[in-house]
């Protein structure tokens, strides 16, 4: 393993540990364990089923993106196995999953890494835009709550109308977004002589081209519906956990949307499986909704652990099945020759 990889892994692990410690530093272990007895595990099981459905839809959508590139005979089951094996790899090292699932497709279906990885970039870019949209939607739906929390955090007098201040903040954010797009356009059009900048430019170009490659998808309705389905199941798998413990059973749609946004940000952070980041962000959101700190952290742990178990079991089975398929394919090729 390269020194740079060891450093990246160590920093990622250190960040996860720091966030995990920050989340649990004031929690009573006895009180935390006592809450296990009050969990309704039927809702947890339902959450697991919903998460598997979302992962299957991701495999199906990946097929739709690969088909116009000349791979129209791919099995949805095989791409699902590749996706789940990738999720399992992400538990070991952040972002390793993208490379792993492309490697699985190369070994089992002879798809070049450069082609499959370009489609993964497409997915990630699209998911990032959807996550930003959900955060913005959550801000609109839960405006009063977010406004009150933000006002108290920055020391604003809640009896005074700060609509103009918020409008200015939003205008600045929009202006920064537009400026970012214009700068990105200039960067993509510019030719760099420095080797490092050339490499960065190629990566950035691949990301943009990957996103634009969605236009090649033939089954547009299937692509749109599967994308909606993925995020709808993401929402449901966290929302139904509300009913698993008494402290969160009364929370509604807005809270579920907030949890989805927080969980999405946590899983995008460079830590193994979102450990630490997930617990900190999700429990922090629930505290805003008035849920007691220990209960908030217990909910975050319950939700994260259920998904972790899903990936370990389904991902582990997928990895073993993938090895079996690869070995079987190798044997068949040997017999043919």
| Residue 1, token pair as written in the block | 């393993």
Distance CA 175, CA 168 (A): 10
Domain assignment present for residue 244? The answer is yes
Q: Is 236 inside a domain boundary?
A: yes
Count structural domains, the chain: 1
Instruction: Give a yes or no: residue 161 inside a domain.
Output: yes
d(CA 22, CA 152): 22
Domain contains 79 = yes
The predicted structure's pLDDT at residue 244: 94
**Other CB atoms within 10 A of residue 142 CB:** 21
Domain-located, residue 329: no
- The reported pLDDT for the residue numbered 129 is 85
pLDDT at 326: 77
* Tokens found for residue 287: 């505290």
Domain presence at residue 31: no
Q: What is the per-residue pLDDT for 223?
A: 92
Tokens (6 digits) for 238: 């966290």
Q: Looking at the domain assignment, is residue 25 inside a domain?
A: no
Q: Could you tell me if residue 153 is inside a domain?
A: yes
Q: How confident is the model at residue 95, as a pLDDT?
A: 75
Q: What is the pLDDT of residue 154?
A: 47
pLDDT tens for the chain, residues 1 to 337: 567 666 666 777 787 778 777 777 877 778 888 888 889 999 999 999 999 999 999 999 999 988 887 787 888 888 999 999 999 998 877 778 888 998 888 888 888 887 788 788 888 888 888 888 888 888 787 766 665 555 554 444 555 555 666 667 667 777 877 777 667 666 656 666 666 666 666 666 655 665 566 777 888 899 999 999 999 999 999 999 999 999 999 998 888 998 998 888 888 887 777 888 888 889 888 988 888 888 999 999 999 999 999 999 999 999 999 888 878 777 766 666 5
Query: What pLDDT is recorded for position 153?
Result: 46
**Distance in Å from the first CA to the final CA of the chain:** 35
Q: What was the pLDDT predicted at 320?
A: 92
CA distances from 136 to 37, 143, 258, 313 (A): 37, 10, 10, 34
Report whether 124 contacts 98 (CB < 8 A). Answer: yes
Separation CA 95–CA 87 (nearest Å): 9
Q: What residue numbers bound the domain in which 174 lies? A: 40-308
**pLDDT reported for residue 211:** 59
Q: What torsion, rounded to 10 degrees, do the Cα atoms 39, 42, 44, 46 define?
A: -160
Instruction: Give the model's pLDDT for residue 171.
Output: 75
């Amino acid at each position: 393993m390269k020194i740079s990889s060891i450093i990246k892994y160590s920093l990622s692990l250190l960040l996860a540990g720091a966030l995990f410690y920050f989340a649990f530093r004031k929690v009573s272990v006895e009180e935390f364990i006592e809450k296990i007895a009050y969990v309704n595990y039927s809702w947890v099981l339902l959450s697991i089923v919903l998460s598997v459905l979302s992962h299957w839809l991701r495999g199906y959508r990946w097929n739709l993106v690969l088909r116009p590139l000349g791979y129209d005979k791919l099995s949805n089951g095989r791409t699902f196995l590749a996706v789940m094996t990738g999720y399992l790899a992400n538990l070991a090292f952040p972002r390793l999953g993208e490379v792993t699932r492309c490697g699985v497709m190369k070994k089992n279906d002879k798809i070049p890494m450069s082609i499959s990885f370009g489609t993964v970039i497409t997915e990630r870019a699209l998911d990032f835009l959807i996550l930003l949209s959900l955060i913005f939607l959550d801000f609109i739906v839960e405006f009063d709550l977010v406004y009150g929390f933000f006002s108290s955090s920055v020391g604003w007098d809640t009896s005074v109308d700060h609509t103009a201040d918020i409008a200015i903040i939003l205008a600045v954010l929009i202006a920064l977004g537009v400026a970012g797009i214009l700068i990105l356009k200039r960067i993509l059009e510019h030719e760099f002589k420095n080797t490092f900048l050339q490499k960065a430019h190629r990566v950035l170009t691949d990301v943009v081209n990957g996103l634009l490659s969605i236009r090649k998808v033939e089954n547009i309705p299937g692509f749109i519906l599967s994308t909606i389905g993925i995020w709808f199941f993401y929402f449901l798998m966290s929302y139904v956990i509300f009913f698993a413990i008494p402290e969160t059973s009364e929370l509604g749609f807005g809270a579920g949307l907030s949890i989805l946004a927080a969980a999405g940000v946590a899983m995008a952070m460079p830590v193994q499986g979102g450990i630490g980041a997930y617990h900190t962000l999700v429990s922090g959101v629930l505290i805003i909704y008035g849920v007691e700190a220990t209960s908030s952290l217990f909910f975050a742990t319950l939700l994260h652990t259920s998904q972790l178990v899903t990936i370990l079991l389904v991902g582990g089975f997928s990895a073993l099945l993938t090895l079996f398929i690869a070995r079987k394919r190798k044997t068949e090729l040997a017999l043919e020759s």
